[in-house]
Amino acid sequence: MTPAGGADRAAANYPLLSRYRRLTGLVIELIHRERDEVRCSREFRRSAVPIQQHEGQEPKAEDSPADDPKP
Protein backbone atom coordinates (compact mmCIF):
# COMPACT_ATOMS: atom_id res chain seq x y z
CA MET A 1 0.00 0.00 0.00
CA THR A 2 1.14 3.52 -0.67
CA PRO A 3 0.92 6.31 1.88
CA ALA A 4 -1.85 8.88 1.57
CA GLY A 5 -1.37 10.88 -1.59
CA GLY A 6 1.11 8.36 -2.97
CA ALA A 7 -1.14 7.53 -5.91
CA ASP A 8 -1.40 11.19 -6.83
CA ARG A 9 2.38 11.58 -6.78
CA ALA A 10 2.76 8.46 -8.90
CA ALA A 11 0.31 9.86 -11.44
CA ALA A 12 2.27 13.11 -11.54
CA ASN A 13 5.45 11.17 -12.24
CA TYR A 14 3.89 9.17 -15.04
CA PRO A 15 2.12 11.43 -17.56
CA LEU A 16 0.53 8.49 -19.40
CA LEU A 17 -1.00 7.20 -16.19
CA SER A 18 -2.28 10.68 -15.41
CA ARG A 19 -3.77 10.97 -18.89
CA TYR A 20 -5.31 7.50 -18.61
CA ARG A 21 -6.96 8.39 -15.29
CA ARG A 22 -8.32 11.62 -16.72
CA LEU A 23 -9.74 9.90 -19.79
CA THR A 24 -11.20 7.12 -17.66
CA GLY A 25 -12.93 9.74 -15.50
CA LEU A 26 -14.34 11.45 -18.58
CA VAL A 27 -15.63 8.16 -20.01
CA ILE A 28 -17.31 7.31 -16.71
CA GLU A 29 -18.91 10.76 -16.61
CA LEU A 30 -20.24 10.32 -20.16
CA ILE A 31 -21.65 6.89 -19.29
CA HIS A 32 -23.45 8.36 -16.28
CA ARG A 33 -24.87 11.22 -18.36
CA GLU A 34 -26.11 8.82 -21.03
CA ARG A 35 -27.70 6.61 -18.37
CA ASP A 36 -29.47 9.62 -16.84
CA GLU A 37 -30.73 10.77 -20.25
CA VAL A 38 -32.07 7.31 -21.04
CA ARG A 39 -33.77 7.16 -17.65
CA CYS A 40 -35.39 10.57 -18.17
CA SER A 41 -36.48 9.58 -21.67
CA ARG A 42 -38.11 6.38 -20.38
CA GLU A 43 -39.87 8.25 -17.58
CA PHE A 44 -41.15 10.83 -20.06
CA ARG A 45 -42.50 8.16 -22.41
CA ARG A 46 -44.23 6.38 -19.53
CA SER A 47 -45.84 9.60 -18.31
CA ALA A 48 -46.94 10.78 -21.76
CA VAL A 49 -50.64 10.31 -22.45
CA PRO A 50 -51.36 9.48 -26.08
CA ILE A 51 -53.93 11.69 -27.78
CA GLN A 52 -56.56 9.60 -29.48
CA GLN A 53 -59.33 10.71 -31.78
CA HIS A 54 -62.21 8.30 -32.17
CA GLU A 55 -63.66 7.54 -35.57
CA GLY A 56 -66.47 9.89 -36.52
CA GLN A 57 -65.44 12.43 -33.89
CA GLU A 58 -64.99 15.90 -35.27
CA PRO A 59 -61.91 17.92 -34.35
CA LYS A 60 -62.30 20.44 -31.53
CA ALA A 61 -63.06 24.05 -32.45
CA GLU A 62 -59.60 25.29 -31.46
CA ASP A 63 -58.01 22.71 -33.78
CA SER A 64 -60.17 23.55 -36.76
CA PRO A 65 -58.36 25.37 -39.60
CA ALA A 66 -61.63 27.11 -40.58
CA ASP A 67 -61.47 29.17 -37.38
CA ASP A 68 -58.07 30.62 -38.25
CA PRO A 69 -58.20 34.35 -39.08
CA LYS A 70 -57.31 35.17 -42.66
CA PRO A 71 -54.27 37.39 -43.22
32-54: pLDDT as tens digits? 999 999 998 888 888 876 666 55
**Domain housing 15:** 7-44
Is the confidence at residue 22, as pLDDT, over 80? yes
**Any domain includes 17:** yes
**Any domain includes 2:** no
Model confidence over 54-63: pLDDT tens digits?
566 555 555 5
**Any domain includes 25:** yes
The pLDDT, as a whole number, for residue 45 is 81
Number of domains comprising the chain: 1
Is the confidence at residue 7, as pLDDT, over 50? yes
pLDDT over 70, % of the chain = 51
**Any domain includes 27:** yes
- Looking at residue 71, what DSSP letter applies? -
Dihedral pair phi/psi, residue 68, rounded to 5° = -70, 135
**Any domain includes 66:** no
Any residues with CB less than 8 A from the CB of 12 and at least 6 apart, and which? 18
**Any domain includes 67:** no
**Any domain includes 20:** yes
- pTM listed for this prediction: 0.43
